[in-house]
Every structure is written in structure tokens, then in C-alpha cells.
Structure 1
Amino acid sequence: MQYVGSELEKLALKDADPDNADLLGRSAFNRYYYAAFLITRDTLGYMQPNWKGTQHANIPELLISSLKKQAKRALSKQRRDGLITHGEESRLLTELSSTASELAQLLKLAYDARILADYEPEIKTIKNGNVIFLKSHKLTTASQWPEKASRYCGRLKRIWKEIGLA
């Protein structure tokens, strides 16, 4: 998906016809969003199989609340059993919450851009030099969504393992 987004972005920047460039740019936003979404969906499926089918719009809430709730339960039991200290429990919960929150924010922003790209064709993309904008969203920023999602997901998997849930 990321490759397709990149190719669409290049085509949009080269195309002199503003209507064609708009369509290509919109599609690039969409592909970058889906790349980040699919990376996240795979991670959620790794963490808990039934989370893999979570609807797009519900993923940020799942990241913010459900992950923490499940981790908190497991860590509290480990602390009560004397397997970890209160400090270790706090550190892991903080790291999980922070990473999940950052990923949720990224996905919310990307989803907003995707909705604009897909459902509001009257809002045109604008080329400014080598940057394509869709309202306040930059395609150069969108191109980084998959890589950032991958980093956040890698951290979440590591923390999930450290908690003992994987």
C-alpha cells in the first residue's frame, strides 16, 4: 500500500491537469491511510485475535481503553503475586498508554484525511511546489504514516510480550 501511495504521489506531482492531479493525490492519501491501518490491524490481531476485525473508526478507542484495561488486569495480578514491583507495573502501563495514544492520534488524523479524500471531492487538493495539500493535511506527512504506525506497533508488541500477554 505504501508503495502504491508513493507512486500515486509522484504521478500527482507530475500531472499538469489539476483534475487528474487531484484524483491521484486523493488516492495517495487513501493508500497511505490503508497502509497504516493494515499494519495496526495486524498488530491488534497479534495482541488479541478478535481485535483484528475492529472497524476503522473504533480502533483509536480500542487502543486507548481496551489495551490498557487488559494490561492493567495482567500487571495487577503479577504485582499481587510478587512477580513485579509497583514501579515496574507503572512503567509498563505508562509506556503502553503513551504508545497506544500516539498511534491512536496518528490513525485519527489519517482517518480524517482519508474521509476527506474519499467523500468530499468538492474539497480539492492543492499543489504548492512539491507538496500536495488536502485542507491542512500534507501528502508528505501522510507518506510517513505507515512507517510511524509500524514503529508504534513494534513498541506495542514488545510491551505486550513484556507484560506476558503474547
Structure 2
Amino acid sequence: MRYVGSELERLALNDTDPNHADLLGRSAFNRYYYAAFLITRETLGFMKPNWKGTAHAEIPKLLENGLRKPAKAALTKQVRSGLLDRGDESRLLGDLNATGNQLAQLLKLAYDARILADYEPEIKTTKDGGVIYLSTHKLTTARQWPSQAERLCAKLKRIWKEIGLV
């Protein structure tokens, strides 16, 4: 998906027909969103298999609210058994919440751009120098969504393993 987004972005920047450039740019936003989404979906499936099927719009809610309950339960058991102290429990929960919230915010932003790209054709992309905009969204920023999702997902996996849920 990332490669396709990059190629579409390149084509959009080089196309002199504004209608063609708009269509290509919109599609690039869409592909960058889906790249970040698929990375996140794979991570959620790793964390808990039934989370892999979570609907697009529900993923940020899961990342913001759904990770805490299983993590807290596992950490409470570890604290009771003496494997962890309260400080470790607090640190792990804090890291999990912060990382989940960062990924949720990234996906909300990307989803908003994807909705504009797919369902608001009257809002045209614009070019300013080497940057394509869709409303307030920059394609140069969208290009970073997959790598940001990879970084945050890697951190979620590490925390999830450290909690002992994998």
C-alpha cells in the first residue's frame, strides 16, 4: 500500500491536468491510510486474535479504551504474585495508554483524510510547491502514517509482551 501511495503521489505531483492530479492525490491519501490501518490491524490481531476484525471506525476506541482492561487484569495478578511492583504496573499501564492514544490519534487523522478523499469529491486537492493538500491534510504528512503506525505498533507489541499477554 505504501508503495502504491508513493507512486500515486509522484504521478499527482507531475500531472499537469488538475482533474487527473486531484484523482491521483486522493488515491494516494487513501493508500497511505490503508497502509497504516493494515499495520494496526495486524498488531491488534497479534495482541488478541478477535481484535483483528475490528471495524475501521472502532479501532481508535479500542486503542484508547479497550487495551487497559486485559492489561490491568494481567498486571494485577503479577503484582499479587510478587512478579512486579506497583511502580512497574503503573509504568506499563502508562506506556500502554500513551502509545494506544498516540496510535488512535494518528488513525483518526488519517481516517478523516481518507473520508474526504473518498466521499467529498467537491473538495479538490491543491498543490503548493511540491506538496499536495486535501483540505488541511498534507500528502507529505500522510506519507509518514505507515512508518508512524509501525513504530507505535512495535511499541504496543513490546509492552503487551512485557505485560505477559502474548
Q: TM-score, normalized by length of structure 2?
A: 0.99
Which residue number in structure 2 is paired with residue 25 of structure 1? 25
Which residue number in structure 1 is paired with residue 91 of structure 2? 91
Percent sequence identity is 72
Which residue number in structure 2 is paired with residue 143 of structure 1? 143
Runs of 4+ in 1 over 2 A off after TM superposition: none
2:12 partner amino acid = A
The superposition leaves residues 62-89 of structure 1 with CA deviations (integer Å, 9 ceiling, x where unpaired) of 0111111110111011111111000000
How many equivalent pairs are there? 166
CA RMSD of aligned residues (A): 0.4
Q: Mapping of 1:155-166 within 5 angstroms?
A: 155-166=155-166
The superposition leaves residues 85-133 of structure 1 with CA deviations (integer Å, 9 ceiling, x where unpaired) of 0000000000000000000000000000000000000000000000000
* Distance in 2 separating the partners of 1:70 and 1:33: 28
Shift of 1:24: 0.1
* Structure 1, 13-22 or 70-79: larger mean CA deviation: 70-79
Q: Mapping of 1:1-166 within 5 angstroms?
A: 1-166=1-166
2:15 partner amino acid = D
2:139 partner amino acid = L
2:2 partner amino acid = Q
* Distance in 2 separating the partners of 1:91 and 1:165: 16
* Distance in 2 separating the partners of 1:100 and 1:76: 20
Q: Flag structure 1 segments of 5+ consecutive residues without an equivalent.
A: none
Q: Flag structure 2 segments of 5+ consecutive residues without an equivalent.
A: none
1:19 partner amino acid = N
* Distance in 2 separating the partners of 1:68 and 1:135: 34
Shift of 1:156: 0.3
Q: TM-score, normalized by length of structure 1?
A: 0.99
* Distance in 2 separating the partners of 1:69 and 1:143: 33
